[in-house]
Every structure is written in structure tokens, then in C-alpha cells.
Structure 1
Amino acid sequence: MKKIFSKVLCLLIVSILALFSLISCENNGSTTSNDSSVVSDTTSELSGEYSDDVSEEEYVKDEVIISEEEKQGVIAEGLLGVTGNKVFAYNGYLGYGYNLLEASYYNPNDIKATNPIIDMDKLAADGYVYVNGITSNSIDCVTFMSDSTKEYSKSISISANLEGKFGLTGSFKTSFGMDYSSEIKSNQKLITVQSSLFTQRDFIYDTNNEIVGNYATSAFTKDAEKLSPEALIKKYGTHVLKDIFLGGRFDLNYLYTNIENKSDESISASVSASYGRVSGGATVDIDERRKEVEKNSKLLIRAYGGSVVVDPTSIEKAQASYEKWAQGVEDGKITLVDSSEIVGIWDIVAKMDFANAEAKSKEIEDYFNSRSGEIAAAFKKSASVKMYIASIHVGTGDSEMKAKNVLRQQGILEGNIINLDLNRSCGGDYIYVGYKTTNDSTKALTGICADYFNNANSSNIKFDNCDYT
């Protein structure tokens, strides 16, 4: 029964392929006729493979019908739809290591460029390397906004495909001029706007870790067997770059202090306006909204790619440089700016041909996980900041919603609206009070007394040696 079922299944597949071939011919005329012959040849071969002479045992292992080498052959012919041009010589960033524990977010300066992990000449010669030019020239903008150093590390690590781990500690020095174990205050935020212009994608196509491992350099192979995990990572990095984007990236980094307790929405709007001003979208509205984050931030600007040197601390000069930077990138002044696929070096080592390869692979991975945990433990909690009432506001309306909306429109946060109608049971409009806060003691209101009562006025109210009765 199994043999009969397999024959029926095979004939069904052949029939579908033949029907698809005929339909394609009718739709595309002479252009498709050449392709249909390929399909016809393929179906003939399949028919031959499933002849009556094949034993039942040979049907059992369906997964060996096409080998890895045959699969690569199909890919090489383009039948699986790879986008890009195969190159047989390569002189780029693929195959090098990157230390995702201690480096900053992807940039050429942190590549382990003197110690390649993969022999890219051999890998390219065997047809595994592709380069795809990106012609859209659209700018991809991503914003990270975090209340703590730990949260920031987690966010950028996820973006770098290091999900579930803490790393990229070098980003704190590069982006904010601080150590990753530094303490920030509870009213501060770490904000990065990454503006990326991708012009080229380089990638190693459809290779598993075993295939990639077979192309490891002799130096890496020897070191993987002999060096400690710590020494190996220090020399080669934690991961191999397998799929990368080249072009330019323009980073705006703000160490922002929220003096007036602005909402996250308000801060995000100000950040967007600041970036809009730099990238050439300045309007009266943008110019007004940007002031909040620019006035209350320590700013560091980093530009990768392009042909201009950007002043790292001036929004005005960044604005003047941005267009020239983008033009330089489009003209070919490109570099590494991001990666969409990386491979842990332990996964490469596991497939290597030496006696204790799997055990050594586990040692390396365990060390990586341990270091990531140590980094997570080194982050400090944000230091609490004392807040003061800066101003008091009154909202009125013929409903609770309208009265509160008056306060919201004045920038009062929801948590700073006192949920009590001051005109309750007295007739007339609803009356609500809200307040704004500041951490600047010189801007604080003093001598305020709130008297809540039901039937009679309070009496004998004293605070800080002041009599409020």
C-alpha cells in the first residue's frame, strides 16, 4: 500500500508540474517556452526516479532525494529566487568577527579586521557569496528611547539580532560619552535616532553552519582548539557577519533630562522634530517642538559613511552637513552600517573537525552567556530625583471630561490631575485642578496648602512653622 500511495503521489506531483508548465506557456508565449522545457526535463527525471523498479525501502528516506550540493546547484541557477549577483571574488566585511558584548552598534571601527574567521576567497570561489545593489536610496529611521542603561542595552541588542542578551556596551561610550555602568537619574532618558541609507547588501547565501565552518581560516581553526573562550572572543569577536548592509548611518544621540516631567509622547514628538530639522524638513511647527529635547540634552552626533566630518555636538552644524553626507553615501562613500544575520562563533566551532569540537563549542557559548549576565548585573538602577510642584492649573467645563481636557491641553499629565470635582454638589460647572512638576528647586512653588473637606473648613493647619488657618 505504501508503495502504491507513493506512486500515486508522484504522478500527482508530475501532473501538477506539467499543467503549470502549459499554463505558463499560454500566458507568456515564446518567452516561457525555454523555461517549460526545464520543467519538462525535471518532471521526466522525477518520473524516472519513481519507476516500478525502485524498492519500497528507497521511498522511506524522502529527505535524501535532494542533497545539500544539489540544493546549492538549484540556487545557483536562480530557481529559488535569490536576489543579488553572485561574486567569485570578495573583499568586504563578510566573514569577519564582531564582538557583540563589548563593541558599539554595527560600524566598521569595531570589526575584528585583522583576524578573519572565514576564508571568503574560497567561499566566493565556490559560489556562496552574493552582492545586491540597493537602488531605492530611501532613508530608514529608527528611534531608541530608554529610561535606564539596562533598558537601552536590551533595545539595541535586540535590534542587532542579539535577542535575550545584554551587550554592545561600547555604544554607551560612542553615543553618550559614558561608561555602560554609569548611573543616570530617574528623570533622564537615553535616546538614539539612527538614520540609515542602505545602498548595498552583501550576504552568504543559504549555507548552514557546517558549510560555513568548512571554510574557516586555518588560523581560526587552530586558535579555536587551543585558546580559552575569553582569549578567542577577544581576538575574533563573538559572532561572524553573514548578512550585512553597507551605506551610511547618521546617529543623533541625546542624554535628555526631563526637567518639567514631560510625557513620553511629548518627548518623542520633540525628538522627531529635532531629527526633522537636521534632515531638512524644518517648518515653524518643527522648529518649536524640537526645542524641548535640544535645550535639555547633552548631544553627541556620529556619522558613518559619506565624505564629510560632522561636528559631534552641534545640531546646527549637523543640519548643514546632513545633505552632503547623504550625497556622499549615494556617490559610493559607503561602509558597514547594519547586519541582518550573524552566527555565534560557537556554532562554527561545533562543526569543526577536531576531537573536542562540540565540547569546546559549549565552553565558548557558556562563556558568552556568562559575560552577558555579568554585563546585565553591572547596570545601575536610575537614581531617584526629587520632584517639586512648578505650577497649578484649573480646568472647568460642563462635564468631567471637558474640565479635564482643559488641563490636558495645557500639558498636564494624567497622573497630575487631582481626581476630585471641586464644585461637587454645588451646581454649575465641573472644576478640576492639576499641576506641573520640576526637579529644579529654584522653580518650585512653596507655601502651598491643600484643604480637602466635606462639611466644614479645616482648622489649625500648620506646616514647616507656617500657620495656614
Structure 2
Amino acid sequence: MKKVTIWLLVITFIFVLSGCNNQEQEKLSSENLITSPIPITENDEIAPISYDNVHQSSELLTEGNNTYVGFGYDVLNNTYIDPLSFSLSNPILKEEEVQKQLKTRIPNAKSSANIIGSSVSEYSKQLSVKLNLSADYPMFSGSVSGEYDLNQTKKENTYFIKSMSGYIKSSDFINNSVNLKTILDDTFKKDLNSNMEPKKLFEKYGTHLLTEALMGARCTYNYTYTSSSSQKKSEILAKVDTTYSYISGSASDDQKKEATEFLSNTYFQSMLTGGADIDASTMPNLLKNFPTWVASLKDTTPTIYGISNINSLTPIWELTDNADRATALEKAFKKMGGDVKSFLDELSKIPEKPSGKTYIESVIIISDKNKNVATDGSSYPGYTMIDKDLNKDAGGDYIYLWYNTTTDPDKALRDIRFTYDSFKDIPQFYTKNDHDLNKGASGAYIYMWTTKQKSIGKPITGINIYYGENADMPSGYEVGLVNNKESKTRAELNYKAGGEFIFLGYTNE
């Protein structure tokens, strides 16, 4: 079994599962499925798998004479049925009992399905639909961090795709009539019924027992595709199909050109399971050696291809007779599933686009006895001065308020408050400007406080200074307040200094 990883640039999910369809009687082979891409359509469903030639298994088909049936798999943190992710050193069922009970059946047809999502959450939901999973948590989510470019998840027009094809030689399974509790491995049974923490138990054995394994070989291509504009999923799937033809050596010159262009905007990873050990460390090597890998499938021992459906997996908490232990394990599993779902949901959040509005990002105070100095903002590029002296008619320094703007509401100020002398009861999240707004004049010490805390208010979009005891502010403007506990007192910026009545007004989005 060979696992190969290739990295380029890519996003989208196409998930192709090969099973059997009773309406199709096409015999599976290593040639007709691997070298000829399965037609991909958005509405494909996973058809029920039918078999013929069911018989007792006289030979275990996987490496080292160990079948994957009877072992555990972590369905939350692993990708979809990866041979390297099974807990093969920690069997759940007694291996000698598995050999007695194991049966093999031969698929007589094929079916295909795909999943494509513009976010990892959408992909996860579509996967659940295709596999008829009723759980409230994502299954086989390990592929997200291991097979896709997480730096692209918050970008628009990005798609996650998994394209998987292969051939199914047989299916290993244990009949549903077998009481699995009677053939549990002694060590597993002891751990299952002990006080071992659920997380440690899942890490050691997996979350589910595999009772059926489709055996064969497969190639898996993962794409993180980012487009400059929105595209129909059917258009993207067509490009993926063309790329498959390109890799398998059956593409025309036009298809090669299309595939190359698609890959140039794609983060790509491949994995080959089963077959000969080939050099596929780069795309040129994959293209060169892929035919050799396909040819080797005739003579190599098959590995696990996948599962027929979710019924091929049994939760390990169903294997204990201790009801309290079973409840605790199931509860822990659901908690882990919820954490994975929250992680995927967070990855899927695309930041809001700037609305085109401008917001007040920050304010500064410049003062000096020389008006020319107080009105010189050359040291503060990007700031705009409000041409209203905050010490008007009170003597003292010339004091001016300056502000800069942003188009990002997340960077905007949300509120402005003031304190007089010893009144400094400012709530949490406010930042003080240490510049006295009565500097050089008599009266109270006045300080300005600002905050960007989103829970406090909406982004400030405008700010100005107004003169007069009954200053007439524009509609929608509110005056800065003195924050003395719950006081609603308007902050007069010449307080106790004489001179003009001065107020700061601002408006929120």
C-alpha cells in the first residue's frame, strides 16, 4: 500500500465512492475504473451495493494477513477510510474469531457520488446527506486540516473537492447475526469497561468498529480551488473530471491545457492506496508513473477502498453491557463531534466585505501655545483636523482634535466619553487619552476616553465639534457624555474654564 502526498496551489470537495448498482451489470476491473474517470454529476447518489458469490473467506486479503474488519476507526478526526489511520495494533475483536466469522463477497456493479462545497461546513453537511448520516456532528473531518489549504477557507469563491476513484475487488464482512460482544478482544473489553477516559479510549481504539470493508485500490485527489468569480458547481466538476483524465493519460491536448490552467489556481494533494510503490512526489512524476501504478493493481494485494455505508461501522459504546459506561462514552463522542463542528463552522466564516462607508478609527489631540504648531498635522499622516479650538475664549493652549478613518467597521471607534477631575468611573474596555482638554486654562482637568468594543455600540461614522450652550447638532448626532457612574450629563469641553460652551458630537452607523 502506497500513500503519496503532492502539494500545489487549490479548493472544493468531490467525493466519489464506488459501490454497486443493481441496474448496472458492468464488471469492475483495475483498468476500466482507474483509467476512465467516473462521470461526475451534482445529483449523483450512493446506490445500494449488491453482491454475488458470497462465501466464507479462506484468505485474509490485507497486508500482514490482517483484515481491517475487527479494528477501530476514529470517524471524527480521520479522513474517509484511510488505511494508515486504523488502530491495527489494538484490535477490538479477537483476530482468530474474525477469521472464523469473516466472509467475502464480490461486487457485480458500480455506482458513484460526489460532494462539492463552497465551505468546509457545506462539504461536511453534504457528506452526511450522501452517506445518510443522521448525526449532528461531522464525520470523517480529518481531511480538512490534512488535505486542504486552511489559509483559503475564509475567501470567497473557494471550493473544497475530493475526487476518489478505484476498483473494488471484494468485500470483507462479518454477518449481522454474529453477537459481537461475545468475540471482543480481552484487552479491549477490559479497557472498554474500565474507568479509562473516553478520549484516551477513542485514541487507542477509534470511535467505531469496522464490520465491513470494501477491498481494492483507489486514487484520491484533493483540490482547494479558488476562482476570481463565482462558478457553477457543475462547471468546477467538469474541470475536475478533465484533470483526472489528464493525470490518467487519457486527455486530449485541449483537456491538458484546461487541466493545467485549473491546477494553476489550485492547492492539490493526491493519495494512492494499494498498488506498486511509485514516485509521485511531484506532478511530473505522478503523470509519468501513474500508468505503472495502474498496471500493478492486477497482481498486488488489495487494501481497503472504503465502506458500503454507515452500517459498516459500529459505535464502540454499543459493545458494553454497562449502560452508564455506554452513556458516558456516547456523550463524550457527541461533545467531541460538537467541537469539530464548531471548528468547521469557524473556518467557514467569510469576513464581511467593507460596506464602502468610512468609519472613525481613532482620534488624537494636538495642542500648543502657538496655533501654527497646534494645527500642523504633518507628523500624523492620514489624520484630518476639526477646525474648532477646544479652548476657545478660555485662554491657555490652542487645542485641536484630529481623526483618521477606515472602511473596516471592525476597526472603528464605538463610543467616546469624558471625565472631569476626579470623576474617573470609566467602564471596562475604554482607553484614556492623557491630553488635558483644558490645558493652559483654568477649570477642570478633562480627559477623553474611547472604545472599539463591539458590545458597547455601533461603529462611529462621523465626528465634529460644536459651539454654544444649546449647540444645534445635525439629526442623528449625539453628544459625548461625562461618564460619572450612570450619569447622562453632556460633557462640556471648557468645563469651569469660562469661554465658549464646547461639545463633541458623533453619529453611529
The 5 Å alignment of 1:230-379 reads: 230-314=199-283, 316-340=284-308, 341-349=312-320, 352=321, 357-379=322-344
Contact 2:70 2:98 in 1 (8 A): no
Q: Which has the higher contact order (CA 8 A, sep 6+)?
A: 2
CA distance in 2, matches of 1:88, 1:207: 20
Report the TM-score when normalising by structure 1.
Answer: 0.57
CA distance in 2, matches of 1:337, 1:313: 24
Contact 2:52 2:106 in 1 (8 A): no
Cα distance change of structure 1 residues 277 and 339 upon mapping to structure 2, 3 Å threshold: same
List gaps (5 residues or longer) in structure 2: 1-50, 61-65, 355-509
The 5 Å alignment of 1:32-431 reads: 83-87=53-57, 90=60, 91-125=66-100, 128-133=101-106, 142-156=113-127, 162-164=133-135, 165-176=137-148, 178=150, 183-207=153-177, 211-226=179-194, 227-314=196-283, 316-340=284-308, 341-349=312-320, 352=321, 357-379=322-344, 380=346, 381-384=348-351
Name the stretch that deviates more: 286-295 or 109-118: 286-295
Indicate the residue corresponding to 1:408 in structure 2. Answer: none
Alpha-carbon shift at residue 161 of structure 1 (Å): 6.5
Larger-gyration structure (1/2): 2
Indicate the residue corresponding to 1:399 in structure 2. Answer: none
Alpha-carbon shift at residue 154 of structure 1 (Å): 3.3
Alpha-carbon shift at residue 287 of structure 1 (Å): 2.8
Q: What is the Cα-based RMSD across aligned positions, in Å? A: 2.8
Report the TM-score when normalising by structure 2.
Answer: 0.53
CA distance in 1, matches of 2:278, 2:326: 42
**Residues 259-304 of structure 1: per-residue CA shift (max 9 Å, x gap):** 1433322222111111122223212442344344222111111111
SS in 1 for 2:115: strand
CA distance in 2, matches of 1:169, 1:345: 19
Contact 1:269 1:289 in 2 (8 A): no
**Residues 52-79 of structure 1: per-residue CA shift (max 9 Å, x gap):** xxxxxxxxxxxxxxxxxxxxxxxxxxxx
Cα distance change of structure 1 residues 174 and 324 upon mapping to structure 2, 3 Å threshold: farther
SS in 1 for 2:91: coil
Calculate percent identity across the aligned residue pairs. Answer: 23
Contact 2:53 2:106 in 1 (8 A): no
CA distance in 2, matches of 1:156, 1:100: 13
Cα distance change of structure 1 residues 217 and 170 upon mapping to structure 2, 3 Å threshold: same
Alpha-carbon shift at residue 343 of structure 1 (Å): 0.7
Cα distance change of structure 1 residues 327 and 278 upon mapping to structure 2, 3 Å threshold: same
Cα distance change of structure 1 residues 158 and 309 upon mapping to structure 2, 3 Å threshold: farther
SS in 2 for 1:197: strand
Contact 1:246 1:337 in 2 (8 A): yes
Matched length: 292
> Which structure has greater strand proportion?
2
Contact 1:300 1:312 in 2 (8 A): no
Alpha-carbon shift at residue 101 of structure 1 (Å): 0.9
